[in-house]
Amino acid sequence: MSRAAVIVNPTKFEDLEKFRDEVCAMTAERGWAEPMWLETTPEDPGQGQAAAAVAAGIDLVIASGGDGTVTACAAGLAGTGTPLAIIPAGTGNLLARNLGLSLDLGEALAVALTGTDQQLDLGIANGKPFLAMAGLGLDAKMLDSTSEPAKERFGWAAYAMSVLAHLRDQPMRVRLQADHERPLRRLASGVIVGNVGWLQGGLPLLPDARPDDGRLDVVVLTAQGWASWLAVAVHVLLRRRDGTGRVARRTFRELRIDVDREHHWELDGELMGRTRQLMITVHPDKLLLRVPAPSPD
């Protein structure tokens, strides 16, 4: 009999016991053993729990929380062959949205128990793993200035409101070295690296990004003030792939980003602190992710 481990972020649920009862009932209905139940902590947001589940011989790890919980669980599972399933319970749920995974509990759990496994690339930024996106500059400052009460009240729209406070910020000077290409030097408001391409609200920031192609994509955005940010937004919304003075793109396996001064940076929606350098690499096929089974012809 197959058995899953459920790794849950308890801060994302108003009634954790109800959630647990629902999960246990649905796993039993589908012939699975009672799941192992593990809760994240501020000290360990999921990596240690995922490693413990693998050591216990679990067949599937189900992560239920925000993007940070999912990424931490992925770090504990990378390279083990034990698949990861997602029950989204955060504000952003960026990976789930990009992969078309349901945000509904019943549908997400059905996929976890009956779906198929897809190999996924894993990004590493300054030694830390990510699945969706890493960023330096604007997006990290957005996270830093978005409060938990605002996220609870407005959802992902709270991030959009936070961005407005930074549209006039002074750009930073960056140098990007992608693989063995000629270095790119720019003034930049934000540098975003993606294993997936879509932001919340359906914005196709990195339209060519694929989570299983063995490469990562990076976009450099340069703007200051409403007019220039409007030009950037038009470029993104129209999915233009050509470079401009305000938008530059690269794909890579290894990337070094040097900045003129320390700036906030983030991984999968989690603020990581400040840095003057990011070293980013891709590790192909490091993770198995449970996705919906193909529809029969």
Pick the catalytic residue from 14, 29, 148, 270: 270
How long is the chain?
A: 297
Q: Do 151 and 67 meet the contact criterion of CB atoms below 8 Å apart? A: no
Question: CA nearest 216: which of 277, 125, 290?
Answer: 125
Whether 270 is catalytic is yes
Residue 200 to residue 70: CA distance in whole angstroms? 17
Tokens of 40: 């994240």
Tokens of 170: 């002074």
Cβ partners under 8 Å of residue 149, min gap 6: none
Residues 167, 90, 110: CA angle, nearest 5 degrees: 140
In degrees to the nearest 10, what's the CA dihedral of 78, 46, 127, 58?
-20
| Three-state DSSP state, 91 | coil
- Residues marked as catalytic: 270
